[in-house]
């Protein structure tokens, strides 16, 4: 037998019948395996969906519980660790005008220039004290 005869024989083998039983068994086997796989895939999908739903429900419940919970008061310690006392600012005193020896119109006008004294009390309110030439008159400006 030469190589051409072998090639012809090989080509003829392409037309050889395949047993019908073998074909049927393949078809049935494939159908059974793919059907069971389809069922498994479906059940797996359902499992995934239910798991996701359960996780989402648990998360919602947790958020709701946290939201509805009463706030706990923050306990303050009876003795503070450190107390800062505000230091009063230094008293600013404007130079007092020299009292005039004679009372006249011009000197009175010059004496009208008030002596301004700014003081900031401990309550942190700004108080401006204005001293006039009259010792009985004192103007106090209290800021907010």
Interface ranges with other proteins (CB under 8 A): 1-3, 6-7, 9-14, 16, 18-19, 22-23, 25-27, 29-31, 33-34, 37
88 within 8 A of 120, measured Cβ to Cβ: yes
Q: How far is the CB of 51 from other proteins (least distance, A)?
A: 23
Of 103, 92, 88, nearest to 133 by C-alpha is 103
Q: How far is the CB of 20 from other proteins (least distance, A)?
A: 10
127 within 8 A of 93, measured Cβ to Cβ: no
Of 1 and 78, nearer to other proteins (C-beta) is 1
Of 25 and 103, nearer to other proteins (C-beta) is 25
Of 10 and 83, nearer to other proteins (C-beta) is 10
Q: How far is the CB of 52 from other proteins (least distance, A)?
A: 24
Give the residue ranges of DSSP H helices in the chain.
Answer: 3-13, 20-68, 105-111
Q: How far is the CB of 34 from other proteins (least distance, A)?
A: 5
Q: Give the whole-angstrom CA distance, residue 58 versus residue 19.
A: 59
127 within 8 A of 143, measured Cβ to Cβ: yes
Of 11 and 109, nearer to other proteins (C-beta) is 11
């Amino acid at each position: 037998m030469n190589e051409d005869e072998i090639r012809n024989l090989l080509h003829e083998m392409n037309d050889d019948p395949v047993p019908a039983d073998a074909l049927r068994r393949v078809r049935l086997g494939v159908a059974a395996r793919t059907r069971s796989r389809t069922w498994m895939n479906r059940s797996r999908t359902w499992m995934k969906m239910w798991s996701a739903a359960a996780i989402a429900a648990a998360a919602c419940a947790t958020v709701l519980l946290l939201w509805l919970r009463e706030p706990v008061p923050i306990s303050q310690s009876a003795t503070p660790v450190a107390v800062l006392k505000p230091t009063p600012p230094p008293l600013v005193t404007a130079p007092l005008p020299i009292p005039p020896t004679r009372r006249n119109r011009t000197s009175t006008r010059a004496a009208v220039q008030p002596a301004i004294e700014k003081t900031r009390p401990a309550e942190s309110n700004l108080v401006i004290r204005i001293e006039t030439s009259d010792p009985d008159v004192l103007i106090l400006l209290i800021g907010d």
